[in-house]
C-alpha cells in the first residue's frame, strides 16, 4: 500500500477524518501507529547466540523521527507532510520525551540498541518501565526545583506482551509484566526489542502517586527512575528495583532458551548478557539460582553464568561503585543470600587476596567484584579509562584475569546525532561525498578533500549559522531567552557534577565579565550556554547551578556587559534540547578533571556536528585529540597521571592555587556584593568556602590554563576560514565514534553473535 493511503486509512480509522483535516496531535498519533505497526511486523535477526543488554537506564529520547528513519520512512513522510504544508518537527514536539535515564550511561544504552538492530544482530534490551522519567527541572529564584515527568501515553510506543513472570520481593510475590518497544534497524530489515518490565497490577495507577512513601514497595517499585538514594529507604528501594529487573530478565532468558529448544546447561552457548555497569549485577546470582532450580549443580550453574556474562565499567568515582550491605539483599531478595555467600566462598578459595573479595569484612557485597569473577569479559569505555582500570583501579583483578580485560571506546548513533538532528549539515555532506557515510561513518573522511575548498568551507559556516538561528528561535519561543545568533556559542551541556567542573567554566565567565567591566572587550560577543540537571540530593551541584543562574541574572541586568557576554542556562536540559544545542555549538566544553570522565559521549556528538573541542586530556577527549591533531582541538590542564599522583600523595593544595592573584579575585567574586544581592548568600558562600579549602576536583589547579586556552580559541575563531577548516576536520574524523563501530567491536571480541 502507498504511504499516503496507509496514513489516510489510519486517520480515518482513528479520528474519522482525512489527514489534512487532522490536527497536529492526531497526525502525530497516526504516524506513531504507522511506525509501531511497521516495526512490530519486522522479523527479529537470527543467530545461534542472542544478546541481552541489561541496563537500569535507557535514555531513548523522542522516538518518532528515529523510528521512521530506521524504517526507511523518514524522507517519504517528510515529503508527504510537506505536500500538506505540515512539518514533522512540529508533530514530534507533541511527543513526551521518554527520559528513562540520567545521562551518558542511559543514552549509550539507547545508541547501542539502535546500532545492534542496524547491524542485524540478535540483541534485545532489558530494563524497567519507570512511569516517571528523570524529574523535570524548573528554575525558581535562580535554583533548581524538581517536578515529576510523566511520559506514558495511552496509545504510545509500548507494545503489551503476553509475558509475565513471578518475582519474590522480600516476602511479597509480585508479577512482572513485560512491555516492549520495537527497535527497528536502519537498513537491516529486522527489529529487536527493548523489554521494559513493570508491576502487573496497574490498580495502583502509579503515575498519579506523586508524593510517595518510599517504604511502600508495591506502589513505588517502577514509579521513578532511581529514587533518591541518600537514605536507607531510598537505597533499599533501589535494590528492590534492581532485583525486580534481573529476576524478570533472567526468567525471560531461560524461557526463550527453552523455546529455542536448548537445554539450560547450554546457556553460555546460546546467550550472552551484557551488564551495563553494576546496576543489573544481581542477574549473576539470580541466574545461578534459576539454573539450580532446573537441575544444575552449583558449580555447573556458576560456570555457565560466568561464560555468559560480560560487564562494562563506566566510572571509577568511588561514590558510584555499588556495594550493597548483605542485610539489604536479605530484605529484598533473601533467596540470593545463600547463592552470594557460595559465590564469594568459591572466589575466596581461588583468590584469597582481600582486595578482590566479593564480600568484605562488613558483609557488604562489592557488585563489580562479583561481575569480574563471574563474568568472562570486563571492559572500559575509552582507552584512557580502560588503562586506568587495568593499571590502577582494578589492577589486582587484571593480574588474575588479564585476558578478561578490554577496551571498547564508546560511540553514538549518527542516525540520531547527525542525520536527524542536523539536516543542513547532512545536505552539505551529501553534496560533497554522497550518501554512503550513512552505512559507514568512516567514509566521512572523504570530506578531507574539501579542507581547502573555499566554497565548501563557506557553506559549512552558513550551516552553523542556520543551526544557531534555529536554536535562538527555539530558546525564544520555549524559554523566553533572546540570544544573539552572531555571538560565539560556547556550550557545556551534561549532568552537573563537581568533577565535570561547570564551576570552572563559571570562573571563566567571571573572568570575562571583569575584563569587560575593565573596558577590555572581546573581539566578538560570546554566549556561554549551560544545560544540565543536578541529582536532587547533590547539594554542591545545586550550589553550582545557583551560581550560574545568578551570573546569568547579573549580566542580564548589566547594560555594559550584556552586549558582549551572555550566560544562558537552558531549563530542563534533555535529549530533545541536546538535539537542538549540539548542531548550534561553536565551542564544545569537555573540561572534566583528567582521569575522572570515563569517556564522555557528548564530546563525540559535538565533534560530528562541527564544533571544536575545548577540553582536558580525559576520557575520549584523548582519542578525539589523536584523530583531529593538535591544531584542531584546544587542550589544557593537568594530565591524568599528574592528577592520579596528586590524589595518591594527597598533595593538592587548593589554598595555594586560590592565592594566585588572578585566581583569588575570580573565586572571591562568588561572595561579592553584586552577586550576594542577587543570590542566596548561604549557597554562594558554601561554594566559595568549598572552592578555597577543598576543591576536590581541582578546578583551581586548571583554571588559569583553561582561561588562557579559551581566549586562544576565541581569537582563532575570528579567522573564519581557518576555523571552518577545523570544523571540517572534526566532522571528517568523527566517524570512528559511530556506535556502529563500537558495536562491531563488542560483537567481534565479546558477543560473537551470528
Stretch of residues binding ligand 73E (CB under 6 A), selected from 339-347, 596-604, 671-679, 740-748: 596-604
Using CB under 6 A, pick the residue from 99, 192, 413, 601 that binds ligand 73E: 601
Does residue number 501 form part of the binding site for ligand 73E (CB under 6 A)? no
**Would you say 175 or 383 has its CB closer to ligand 73E?**
383
Which residues lie closer than 8 Å to 726 by C-beta, 6 or more apart?
612, 628, 631, 632, 716
Chain centroid offset of residue 138 CA: 21
Does residue number 619 form part of the binding site for ligand 73E (CB under 6 A)? yes
Q: Write out 275-330 in H/E/C secondary structure.
A: EECCCCCCHHHHHHHHHHHCCCCHHHHHHHHHHHEEEECCCCCHHHCCEEEHHHHH
Report the half-sphere exposure of 28 (CA within 13 A, side-chain side).
Answer: 21
Does residue number 45 form part of the binding site for ligand 73E (CB under 6 A)? no
Q: How far is the CB of 129 from ligand 73E (least distance, A)?
A: 18
Q: Report yes or no: 197 and 58 within 8 Å, Cβ to Cβ.
A: no
Does residue number 381 form part of the binding site for ligand 73E (CB under 6 A)? yes
Does residue number 593 form part of the binding site for ligand 73E (CB under 6 A)? no
Q: How far is the CB of 315 from ligand 73E (least distance, A)?
A: 4
**Would you say 192 or 590 has its CB closer to ligand 73E?**
590
Does residue number 104 form part of the binding site for ligand 73E (CB under 6 A)? yes
Does residue number 108 form part of the binding site for ligand 73E (CB under 6 A)? yes
Does residue number 133 form part of the binding site for ligand 73E (CB under 6 A)? no
**Would you say 123 or 619 has its CB closer to ligand 73E?**
619
Q: How far apart are CA 198 and CA 195, in angstroms?
A: 10
Residue 102 sits at φ, ψ, to 5 deg, of -90, -40
Stretch of residues binding ligand 73E (CB under 6 A), selected from 97-105, 242-250, 472-480, 727-735: 97-105
Q: Report yes or no: 313 and 381 within 8 Å, Cβ to Cβ.
A: yes
C-alpha cell read off for 105: 550511561
Residue 350 sits at φ, ψ, to 5 deg, of -80, -30
**Would you say 247 or 599 has its CB closer to ligand 73E?**
599
Stretch of residues binding ligand 73E (CB under 6 A), selected from 47-55, 69-77, 103-111, 717-725: 103-111
Using CB under 6 A, pick the residue from 129, 192, 315, 467 that binds ligand 73E: 315
Using CB under 6 A, pick the residue from 29, 129, 599, 738 that binds ligand 73E: 599
Query: Among positive and negative, which fits the CA dihedral 678, 679, 685, 691?
Result: negative
**Would you say 103 or 249 has its CB closer to ligand 73E?**
103
Stretch of residues binding ligand 73E (CB under 6 A), selected from 104-112, 189-197, 679-687, 729-737: 104-112
Size of the site for ligand 73E (CB under 6 A): 16
Q: Which of 3, 10, 162, 30 is nearest to 94 (CA)?
A: 30
Does residue number 502 form part of the binding site for ligand 73E (CB under 6 A)? no
**Would you say 410 or 512 has its CB closer to ligand 73E?**
410
Stretch of residues binding ligand 73E (CB under 6 A), selected from 102-110, 202-210, 351-359, 513-521: 102-110
Q: How far apart are CA 717 and CA 715, in angstroms?
A: 5
**Would you say 92 or 277 has its CB closer to ligand 73E?**
277
**Would you say 135 or 165 has its CB closer to ligand 73E?**
135
Residue 331's SS3 state is helix
Stretch of residues binding ligand 73E (CB under 6 A), selected from 78-86, 125-133, 394-402, 598-606: 598-606
Does residue number 320 form part of the binding site for ligand 73E (CB under 6 A)? yes
Burial of 453 (0-12, 13-18, 19+ CB in 10 A): middle
Q: Report yes or no: 736 and 627 within 8 Å, Cβ to Cβ.
A: yes
Stretch of residues binding ligand 73E (CB under 6 A), selected from 74-82, 101-109, 179-187, 579-587: 101-109
Q: How far is the CB of 561 from ligand 73E (least distance, A)?
A: 34
Q: How far apart are CA 543 and CA 236, in angstroms?
A: 27
Which residues lie closer than 8 Å to 739 by C-beta, 6 or more apart?
108, 111, 112, 114, 115, 410, 411, 412, 413
Does residue number 379 form part of the binding site for ligand 73E (CB under 6 A)? no
Q: Report yes or no: 305 and 372 within 8 Å, Cβ to Cβ.
A: no
Q: Which residues pair with 614 in a beta bridge?
A: 589, 634
C-alpha cell read off for 598: 570515563
**Would you say 38 or 107 has its CB closer to ligand 73E?**
107
Strand locations in 381-428, DSSP E?
A: 405-407
Which residues does the annotation mark as catalytic? Answer: 314, 494-495, 500, 601, 605
Using CB under 6 A, pick the residue from 29, 99, 102, 144 that binds ligand 73E: 102
Q: How far apart are CA 740 and CA 754, in angstroms?
A: 16
Using CB under 6 A, pick the residue from 45, 249, 600, 610 that binds ligand 73E: 600
Q: How far apart are CA 494 and CA 102, in angstroms?
A: 10
Q: How far is the CB of 247 from ligand 73E (least distance, A)?
A: 20
Residue 32's SS3 state is helix
Q: Which residues pair with 377 in a beta bridge?
A: 310
Strand locations in 123-217, DSSP E?
A: 123-128, 136-140, 143-147, 159-169, 172-184, 191-199
Query: Among positive and negative, which fits the CA dihedral 56, 60, 63, 69?
Result: negative
**Per-residue x/- track, 385-424, ligand 73E (CB under 6 A):** -------------------------x--------------
**Per-residue x/- track, 51-90, ligand 73E (CB under 6 A):** ----------------------------------------
Stretch of residues binding ligand 73E (CB under 6 A), selected from 120-128, 164-172, 592-600, 684-692: 592-600
Q: Which of 407, 381, 226 is nearest to 314 (CA)?
A: 381
Using CB under 6 A, pick the residue from 597, 623, 695, 704 that binds ligand 73E: 597
Q: How far is the CB of 385 from ligand 73E (least distance, A)?
A: 8
Does residue number 615 form part of the binding site for ligand 73E (CB under 6 A)? no
Does residue number 613 form part of the binding site for ligand 73E (CB under 6 A)? no
Q: How far is the CB of 455 from ligand 73E (least distance, A)?
A: 36
Q: How far is the CB of 275 from ligand 73E (least distance, A)?
A: 13
Q: How far is the CB of 659 from ligand 73E (least distance, A)?
A: 32
Structural element, H or E, at residue 749: none
Does residue number 245 form part of the binding site for ligand 73E (CB under 6 A)? no
Using CB under 6 A, pick the residue from 81, 250, 421, 598 that binds ligand 73E: 598
Q: Report yes or no: 591 and 493 within 8 Å, Cβ to Cβ.
A: no
Does residue number 537 form part of the binding site for ligand 73E (CB under 6 A)? no
**Would you say 487 or 601 has its CB closer to ligand 73E?**
601
**Would you say 304 or 621 has its CB closer to ligand 73E?**
621
Helix axes 699-717, 502-517, angle to 10 degrees: 60
**Would you say 368 or 456 has its CB closer to ligand 73E?**
368
Report the half-sphere exposure of 261 (CA within 13 A, side-chain side).
Answer: 1
C-alpha cell read off for 739: 556506535
**Would you say 669 or 737 has its CB closer to ligand 73E?**
737
Cα dist. 570→303, 476, 588, 684 in Å?
50, 11, 16, 21
* Binding region for ligand 73E (CB under 6 A): 102, 104-105, 108, 277, 314-315, 320, 381, 410, 597-601, 619
Amino acid at each position: 500500500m502507498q504511504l499516503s493511503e496507509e496514513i489516510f486509512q489510519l486517520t480515518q480509522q482513528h479520528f474519522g477524518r482525512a489527514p489534512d483535516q487532522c490536527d497536529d496531535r492526531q497526525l502525530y498519533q497516526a504516524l506513531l501507529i504507522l511506525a509501531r505497526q511497521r516495526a512490530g511486523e519486522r522479523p527479529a535477526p537470527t543467530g545461534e547466540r542472542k544478546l541481552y543488554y541489561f541496563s537500569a537506564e535507557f535514555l531513548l529520547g523522542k522516538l518518532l523521527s528515529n523510528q521512521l528513519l530506521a524504517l526507511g520512512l523518514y524522507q517519504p513522510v517528510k515529503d508527504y507532510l510537506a505536500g500538506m504544508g505540515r512539518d514533522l518537527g512540529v508533530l514530534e514536539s507533541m511527543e513526551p520525551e521518554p527520559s528513562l535515564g540520567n545521562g551518558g550511561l542511559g543514552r549509550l544504552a539507547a545508541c547501542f540498541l539502535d546500532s545492534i538492530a542496524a547491524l542485524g544482530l540478535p540483541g534485545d534490551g532489558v530494563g524497567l518501565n519507570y512511569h516517571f522519567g528523570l524529574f523535570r527541572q524548573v528554575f525558581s529564584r535562580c535554583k533548581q526545583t524538581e517536578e515529576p515527568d510523566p511520559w506514558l501515553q495511552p496509545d504510545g510506543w509500548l507494545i503489551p506482551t503476553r509475558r509475565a513472570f513471578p518475582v519474590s520481593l522480600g516476602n511479597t510475590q509480585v508479577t512482572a509484566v513485560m512491555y516492549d518497544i520495537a527497535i527497528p534497524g536502519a537498513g537491516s530489515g529486522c527489529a529487536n526489542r527493548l523489554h521494559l518490565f513493570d508491576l502487573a497490577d496497574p490498580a495502583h495507577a502509579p503515575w498519579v502517586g506523586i508524593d510517595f512513601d518510599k517504604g511502600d514497595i508495591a506502589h513505588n517499585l517502577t514509579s521513578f527512575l532511581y529514587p533518591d538514594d541518600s537514605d536507607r529507604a531510598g537505597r533499599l528501594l533501589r535494590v528492590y528495583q534492581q532485583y525486580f529487573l534481573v529476576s524478570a530478565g533472567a526468567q525471560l532468558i531461560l524461557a526463550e532458551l527453552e523455546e529455542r529448544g536448548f537445554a539450560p546447561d547450554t546457556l553460555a552457548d546460546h546467550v550472552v548478557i551484557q551488564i551495563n555497569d553494576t546496576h543489573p549485577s544481581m542477574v549473576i546470582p539470580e541466574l545461578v539460582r534459576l539454573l539450580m532450580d532446573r537441575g544444575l549443580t552449583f558449580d555447573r550453574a556458576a560456570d555457565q553464568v560466568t561464560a555468559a556474562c560480560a560487564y562494562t565499567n563506566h566510572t571509577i568515582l568511588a561514590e558510584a561503585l555499588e556495594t550493597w550491605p548483605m542485610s539489604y539483599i536479605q530484605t529484598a531478595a533473601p533467596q540470593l543470600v545463600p547463592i552470594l555467600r557460595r559465590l564469594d566462598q568459591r572466589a575466596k578459595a581461588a583468590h584469597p587476596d582481600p582486595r578482590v573479595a566479593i564480600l568484605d569484612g562488613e558483609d557488604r557485597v562489592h557488585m563489580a567484584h562479583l561481575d569480574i569473577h563471574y563474568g568472562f569479559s570486563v571492559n572500559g569505555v575509552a582507552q584512557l579509562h580502560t588503562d586506568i582500570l587495568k593499571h590502577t583501579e582494578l589492577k589486582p583483578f587484571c593480574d588474575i584475569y588479564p585476558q578478561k580485560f578490554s577496551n571498547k571506546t564508546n560511540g553514538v548513533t549518527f542516525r540520531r546525532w547527525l542525520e536527524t538532528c542536523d539536516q543542513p549539515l547532512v545536505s552539505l555532506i551529501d553534496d560533497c561525498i554522497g550518501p554512503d557515510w550513512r552505512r559507514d561513518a568512516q567514509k566521512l573522511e572523504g570530506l578531507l578533500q574539501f579542507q581547502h575548498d573555499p566554497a565548501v568551507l563557506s557553506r559549512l559556516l552558513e550551516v552553523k549559522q542556520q543551526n544557531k538561528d534555529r536554536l535562538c528561535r527555539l530558546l525564544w519561543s520555549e524559554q523566553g531567552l533572546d540570544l544573539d545568533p552572531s555571538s560565539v556559542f560556547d556550550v557545556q551541556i551534561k549532568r552537573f557534577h563537581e568533577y565535570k567542573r561547570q564551576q570552572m567554566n563559571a570562573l571563566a565567565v567571571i573572568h570575562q565579565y571583569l575584563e569587560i567591566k575593565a573596558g577590555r572587550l572581546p573581539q566578538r560577543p560570546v554566549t556561554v550556554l549551560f544545560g544540565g540537571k543536578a541529582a536532587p540530593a547533590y547539594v554542591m551541584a545545586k550550589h553550582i547551578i545557583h551560581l550560574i543562574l545568578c551570573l546569568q541574572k547579573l549580566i542580564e541586568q548589566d547594560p555594559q556587559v550584556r552586549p558582549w557576554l551572555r550566560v544562558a542556562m537552558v531549563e530542563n536540559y534533555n535529549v530533545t534540547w541536546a538535539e537542538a544545542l549540539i548542531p548550534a555549538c561553536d565551542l564544545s566544553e569537555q573540561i572534566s578533571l583528567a582521569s575522572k570522565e570515563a569517556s564522555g559521549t557528548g564530546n563525540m556528538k559535538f565533534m560530528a556536528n562541527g564544533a571544536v573541542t575545548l577540553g582536558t586530556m580525559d576520557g575520549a577527549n584523548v582519542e578525539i585529540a589523536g584523530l583531529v591533531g593538535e591544531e584542531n582541538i584546544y587542550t589544557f590542564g593537568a594530565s591524568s597521571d599528574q592528577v592520579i599522583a596528586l590524589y595518591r600523595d594527597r598533595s593538592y593544595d587548593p589554598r595555594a592555587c586560590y592565592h594566585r592573584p588572578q585566581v583569588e579575585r575570580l573565586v572571591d567574586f562568588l561572595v561579592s556584593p553584586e552577586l550576594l544581592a542577587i543570590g542566596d548568600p548561604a549557597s554562594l558562600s558554601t561554594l566559595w568556602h568549598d572552592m578555597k579549602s577543598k576543591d576536590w576536583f581541582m578546578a583551581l589547579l586548571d583554571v588559569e590554563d583553561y582561561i588562557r586556552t579559551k581566549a586562544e580559541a576565541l581569537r582563532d575563531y575570528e579567522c573564519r576560514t581557518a576555523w571552518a577548516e577545523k570544523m571540517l576536520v572534526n566532522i571528517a574524523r568523527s566517524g570512528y565514534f559511530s556506535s556502529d563501530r563500537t558495536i562491531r567491536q563488542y560483537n567481534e571480541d565479546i558477543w560473537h553473535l551470528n
